[in-house]
Amino acid sequence: MATPHNRGEKGDFARTVLMPGDPLRAKFIARHFLENPRLVTDVRNMLGFTGTYGGKEISVMGAGMGMPSMGIYCHELFSFYDVDQIIRVGTAGSISQDCKVRDIVLAEGACTNSAFASQYRLKGTFAPTADFGLLNAAYTAAGKSGLSVKVGNVLSSDTFYCDDPDANDGWIRMGVLCIEMESAALYMEAARLHKKALSILTISDEILTGRELSSDQRERSFTDMMELALSIA
């Protein structure tokens, strides 16, 4: 059944979907890692593919930028295409001295400055968290592969260009590792729909020091992240 944002039909998506923000990164994953990938959706150029990896059917689809975009795509995948789990593979900017470029962050929890949770009419503050099974599997797989990973809280921010120069100070004091823009929406949708989700993030830049990865370093580091996600898919 097609939706306003997805032309796929029932059965076009695997039970597990990897979701980078960039649809071209979804295309890269499909072409370089999946066997016999086929395009299943391209509405608004938000590309989605399904193929196999290690004999298991896997899908990969872009999520766009920000929580509203992630909220749309993950909701439709969970609700209309029988997807059981989504693994976000994306980038983040470090706000922790313990988090360096090329490190991989497993987002145990996703703080946010967004009002996304207001739709659920909760009588308090919801704490969006990863599925523990996926989190534990990724941490174990990373250790076996010798990858440098950090586990902890991330911040899903509604703003990329923020007018408040002190906006990060409180999050730094609370030990938040890095900033990105989608994980909290993914975790909330997964919780509401009783599905599984995990965000695996590569640190592309250090906000505190100004250090950032070169294009060559990004390609290699992102490949490590993709291989880790596929190993637990």
Active site residues: 205
3-state secondary structure 149-191: EEEEEEEECCCCCCCCCCCCHHHHHCCCCEEECCHHHHHHHHH
d(CA 141, CA 192): 28
> In degrees rounded to 5, what are phi and psi of residue 199?
-110, 125
For residue 49, what are the contacts with CB-CB under 8 A and spacing of at least 6?
26, 27, 29, 30, 34, 37, 38, 39, 40, 59, 60, 61
Separation of alpha carbons 73 and 151, rounded Å: 25
